Amino acid sequence: MAEDLDKPLLDPDTFDRKGIDLGILPLDEVFEYLRTSPRGLLSGDADERLKIFGPNRLEEKRENKFLKFLGFMWNPLSWVMEAAALMAIALANSQSLGPDWQDFVGIVCLLLINATISFFEENNAGNAAAALMARLALKTRVLRDGQWQEQDASILVPGDIISIKLGDIIPADARLLEGDPLKIDQSVLTGESLPVTKKKGEQVFSGSTCKQGEIEAVVIATGATTFFGKTARLVDSTDVTGHFQQVLTSIGNFCICSIAVGMVLEIIIMFPVQHRSYRIGINNLLVLLIGGIPIAMPTVLSVTLAIGSHRLSQQGAITKRMTAIEEMAGMDVLCCDKTGTLTLNSLTVDKNLIEVFIDYMDKDTILLLAGRASRLENQDAIDAAIVSMLADPREARANIREIHFLPFNPVDKRTAITYIDSDGKWYRATKGAPEQVLNLCQQKNEIAQRVYAIIDRFAEKGLRSLAVAYQEIPEKSNNSPGGPWRFCGLLPLFDPPRHDSGETILRALSLG
């Protein structure tokens, strides 16, 4: 490792080529490897790195518009029409009768009309997408020359120190430094809309959104080298021919083969057998060549897809490829996120279904303990759902003195609060994943079967489970392990479906 750290930072592929994962290195080694510090980069150093790594954005494929236009005339059906056009001016030029310009112009006009419609529709969609991306250009706070500046996210380079706060879209892959733990929405990467907790030393990814907290971070990857950029590159590297193009190609190939056989037979019959004149024979071949293909089909299909693209644009959807409309209509399986898509992304607790495991407690007591183990400010979805079930949210801290609050983390999968009640007794309450909370409790072997049976019953109804437990702390110290944990109860969490989810699913099924 020391040998690698002594080498200068060279290019965007350095990390991958050397097999160094900056997402797991200790932070001090990350700073050393990136030749940076918590004070940030100097502007001159940042400019040099920008020349090496390039702007912090995904690579845009620049298409030659003229070649793109010609591409709409490069398919089997167009080939036959182009061959007919050449025959009309080349082979038909005989017997003092000039080229058949009427047929030539008519065929070329059909080709140009079809290509023009397709080109302009896709070009307009591409321009709309580009304009949308320009309006959504990210801004970020970056530490340069010892001062915080608000800059375009595109100027970020590995080694920059950035500030992340509530509502920010993470502009690049980064490692978190000093500050409050963050709640990060990674739905753009994972599809799960519930936020995850990130704290010092952990990695955050470009494109995710900060839902809670404020912290500084050091940039470790930008542009195409980010996790999001690598994913986009994998998607772009796939070259799958759509069903629509396959159908057109099959029709074109069938027409070409049929016309070729027909032309051979007609040539044999017209010239050796019937002794037709050359010009008449060519005219007959042109009729067969043009009549044997559905000349108007590409134009009709382009117009139909253009109308579909226009109707989608009226509903706020941008179609970058017109053939995507047919591909969307031909899908067999639709995979979508449940939370926030089919549901309201608004968790609630069904008080009637709360399961109590301690005789001297009731459902209200279970809710109160869960409320105490919840934040009253900067709440996540689960905390908000539980506190809202109390008659007054202030009950969660009424008649107690909070000593310490342990926020949720992905390892323990629970929150906990240490507090002193009105009698001066010390307690610790926790809520979280049933498996984790159950493992804390002394009576887990006796109640495990019942706990898992209730979890399964909740799951059959589409409910998630949240466990609550508490312990006394005789030592009256926050650092004390405390007495045995007691499993108190299970709370069912319900995310109601959207009012139109049933209708939407039925409509999707009716479309096949």
Helix, strand, or coil here: 174?
A: strand
Q: What is the pLDDT of residues 212-267, one digit of tens each?
A: 888 999 999 998 888 888 877 766 555 566 677 777 778 878 878 888 888 888 88
The pLDDT, as a whole number, for residue 444 is 87
| Res. 310: pLDDT tops 80 | no
Residue with tokens 């309450």: 429
Q: How many CB atoms lie within 10 A of CB 490?
A: 25
| Confidence category of residue 373, pLDDT binned at 50, 70, 90 | very high
| Confidence category of residue 1, pLDDT binned at 50, 70, 90 | very low
Q: What is the pLDDT of residues 81-114, one digit of tens each?
A: 787 788 777 765 555 566 767 878 888 888 888 7
* 45 classed as catalytic: no
| Res. 388: pLDDT tops 50 | yes
More confident residue, 505 or 76: 505
The pLDDT, as a whole number, for residue 135 is 53
Mean per-residue pLDDT over the chain, rounded: 81
Is the CB of residue 117 less than 8 Å from the CB of residue 299? yes
* Helix extents (H) in 191-315: 227-237, 243-268, 278-291, 296-314
The pLDDT, as a whole number, for residue 8 is 46
Q: How many CB atoms lie within 10 A of CB 178?
A: 9
| Res. 486: pLDDT tops 90 | yes
Residue with tokens 């190609």: 249
The pLDDT, as a whole number, for residue 71 is 82
Q: In this predicted structure, which of 77-86, 144-153, 295-304 has the lowest mean pLDDT? A: 295-304
| Confidence category of residue 170, pLDDT binned at 50, 70, 90 | very high
Please state whether the predicted TM-score (pTM) of the whole model is above 0.85.
no
Nearest to 246 by CA among 114, 76, 117, 68: 76
Q: What is the pLDDT of residues 447-464, one digit of tens each?
A: 999 999 999 999 998 888
- DSSP summary character for residue 413: -
Q: Which structural domains are found in the chain, ordered by start?
A: 2-56+156-233 (2.70.150.10), 71-132+241-329 (1.20.1110.10), 348-494 (3.40.1110.10)
The pLDDT, as a whole number, for residue 305 is 76
Is the CB of residue 387 less than 8 Å from the CB of residue 379? yes
Percent with pLDDT over 90 in the chain: 28
Query: Which residue type does 15 have?
Result: F
Catalytic hit among 337, 350, 364, 412: 337
| Res. 468: pLDDT tops 80 | yes
Which contiguous run of DSSP H or E holds residue 4? helix 2-5
| Confidence category of residue 14, pLDDT binned at 50, 70, 90 | low
The pLDDT, as a whole number, for residue 183 is 86
The pLDDT, as a whole number, for residue 93 is 57
Distance between CA atoms of residues 163 and 315, nearest Å:
36
The pLDDT, as a whole number, for residue 274 is 75
